[in-house]
Amino acid sequence: MNKIDPKEKQALDELRHSAAHLLAAAVLELYPDAKPTIGPAIDDGFYYDFEFSSSISEQDLPKIEKKMREVVKSWSAFTRQQVSADEARQLYANNPYKGELIDELEKSGAEITLYKSGAFTDLCRGGHVEQPAKELRHFKLLSVAGAYWRGDEHNTMLTRIYGTAFPSQIALDEYLSAREEAKLRDHRKLGKEMDLFTFSPLVGSGLPLYTQRGALLRRLLNNYVEEIQSGQDYQQVWTPQIAKADLFKTSGHYDKYKADMFRVVSNYSKEEMYLKPMNCPQHTQIFASKPRSYRELPIRMTDFAMLYRDERPGELNGLARVRSFSQDDCHIFCREDQVDEEIDRALQMTISIMKTFGFSYRYRLSTRDTEHPEKYIGDPKVWDKLEKWAVTIMQRNNIEYYDGPGEAAFYAPKMDLMATDALGREWQLSTVQIDYFMPERFELSYTDTDGTAKRPVMLHRAILGSAERMMMILIEHYAGAFPVWLSPVQVKVLPITDAHSEYAKEVVNKLAVAGVRVELDDRSERLQAKIRDAQLEKIPYMLVVGGKEAAEGTVAVRSRDTKQQTVVELDAFVEQITSEIAERK
């Protein structure tokens, strides 16, 4: 088992948290009336939120960064001072944001500490570098964004300045290079250029609309998973996108998840209902719809129905974070002695699918936050059993994993697959969960061999997770140049002139009959313009046809990756591309 070195992570977090202090100090020197609020380290850098009396933009970042480099020269250390709530309030008498934090610390009985470097003092719990002038050298301010105070849209909109910091210039340069590459691969940009999806303010934020090509891509992903699943006796079901509040009260989602659910009230019955955020509660009701015998188990239900979650407006981000989505959900109802076999089956299926997309990956063991037991349902002893069981499963399958405290679902620990894309970024895709609590809350049962009623175990499993999020990852992973089998359009046929259109149509028909997704570009444009447009659309193959090709029954094949053309017989090309599609290349 390989884990993230906790010492390295802590050192990087301390470096970035120190850089956030430095950012605040520089801002106050340049904008004395600004009000700093909070500035934490985050996964790829740091940020600090401010209230400014006048707006700033990314054009101001070089000036702020220059001031940071001036200020840090006089920072020899971070000095800690513990103070009373009244002393802290006096220091921040003109900053209501810090005042709110001080009130919360006082109410909780926590220590109130200040950290000072140079002339700058900040309210802070600590965690800094020892020699800021020496260690805070390799940083970069990245962007400016709006952010509500405490993430609540009812609060004041603040200005958030993002930055990053690394222990060396080499590491910083590598990160900035990867960031520039990520901009070129941005799925929002490529999705528009490739005509895959759009958003409309009239439809609503976070509600994607898929074009013909985008809908096809979604369908190809779902069909691939369904093809693998159906071959292993997984049975697809379909459930409503809305359910009574009582369902979610029983499952526990009402108490633990209600703030993220869309509430709907009937005009006639006045019943309280919700758009479903996940499929599992409704699947329990399919299981409970008739008596079950041990002979039927395991029952494997898959579901691609739409789901809805009320994400905060500031967190919506293209297809990465949406309000409507679907998952390749599966819920398996089985006996306890069938759990290991079912999970091993799911893990092997996942390995096969990850290989198709070329992802490297590891797993995160997502466990409870033991300091906040109120976040979870069920007996802690059962949680202990399930978390140990998950470790045994991953060790038995020789799976590399690391610990993720606090990442568990409220009803079960999770084995989360973290895939690495072409830019080295990690994304959570597949998940597997062993759930004892949902069957208990819904009083599910089956008749065992001895005629007694037994409680089934419920396994939650997704492979790709959200189709929307998977599309985003794949667009950026492939930079829009999907493998042939996944490309919405696999071939574009380009007649050199109008005189060659008839043969071009014959080529199109032959490819279409063979199951190839093909389009004809018979516009009255120059050939080079047609080639350029096809390349922008990331079409895997372009077939150029003229008089010679028509006479000889050939096509001039040009791939999106090269400027060279190879003349081959049409039948040979059909055989080649259908083979690639079948082999998912």
Instruction: Say if 269 falls within a structural domain.
Output: no
Alpha carbon of 282 to those of 112, 311, 467: distances in Å? 47, 22, 20
Residue 251 lies in a domain: no
Does any domain span residue 78? yes
pLDDT of residue 315: 81
Average pLDDT score, the chain? 92
Model confidence at 375, pLDDT cuts 50, 70, 90, reads: confident
- Domain limit, last residue, from 452, 477, 502: 477
Residue 444 has pLDDT above 60, yes or no: yes
Query: Is 327 annotated in the active site?
Result: yes
Query: At 175, which CATH number?
Result: 3.30.980.10
pLDDT of residue 151 exceeding 90: no
What digits encode the pLDDT tens for the residues 399-409? 888 888 888 88
Q: Which secondary structure element, helix H or strand E, spans residue 391, and what is its range?
A: helix 380-396
Same-domain check for residues 419 and 309? yes
The answer to whether residues 471 and 491 belong to one domain is no
Given 229, 282, 327, 490, the catalytic residue:
327
Asked if residue 253 belongs to a domain, the reply is no
- Assess whether 221 and 357 both reside in one domain: yes
Q: Does 85 reside within a domain?
A: yes
291 φ/ψ angles, rounded to the nearest 5 degrees = -60, 140
Of the pLDDT bands very low, low, confident and very high (cuts 50, 70, 90), residue 163 is very high
Residues 444 and 528 in one domain: no
pLDDT over 80 at 314, yes or no: no
**Residue that finishes a domain, picked among 477, 509, 532:** 477
Contact 36, 48 (CB under 8 A): yes
Helix (H, G, I), strand (E, B) or coil at 212: helix
CATH number at residue 563: 3.40.50.800
The answer to whether 475 touches 190, Cβ cutoff 8 Å, is: yes
State yes or no: pLDDT of 131 exceeds 60.
yes
**5 band by pLDDT with thresholds 50, 70 and 90:** low
Identity of the residue numbered 562: T
Is residue 226 domain-shared with residue 304, that is, in the same domain? Answer: yes
In a domain, residue 255? The reply is no
* In-domain check, residue 235: yes
**Lateral strand order in the sheet of 112-117:** 79-83, 112-117, 120-123
Considering the domain architecture, whether residues 372 and 391 belong to the same structural domain is answered as yes
Same domain, 138 and 215: no
Q: What is the model's pLDDT at position 94?
A: 93
Domain limits for position 165:
6-183
pLDDT of residue 510: 96
Instruction: Tell me if residue 460 is catalytic.
Output: yes
467 plus 494 within the same structural domain = no
Count of structural domains, the chain? 3
Q: Which of 140, 460, 500, 517 is catalytic?
A: 460
Give which of 216, 271, 213, 225 is closest to 247, Cα–Cα: 271
Q: What is the model's pLDDT at position 1?
A: 35
Q: Among this protein's residues, is 538 annotated catalytic?
A: no
pLDDT value at residue 258: 87
Report d(CA 466, CA 324) in Å as an integer. 10
Question: For 213-241, what is the mean pLDDT?
Answer: 91
Q: Is the pLDDT of residue 6 over 80?
A: no
Whether 331 is catalytic is yes
| Residues 160 and 286 reside in one and the same domain | no
Is residue 177 a part of any domain in this protein?
Answer: yes
Residue range 373-388: mean pLDDT, rounded: 88
372 is catalytic: no
Catalytic residue among 67, 98, 122, 280: 280
Range list of H helices, 442-546: 467-477, 501-513, 527-536
**Residue bearing tokens 């690495």:** 420
H/E segment holding residue 76? none
Within this chain, do residues 345 and 199 fall inside the same structural domain, yes or no? yes
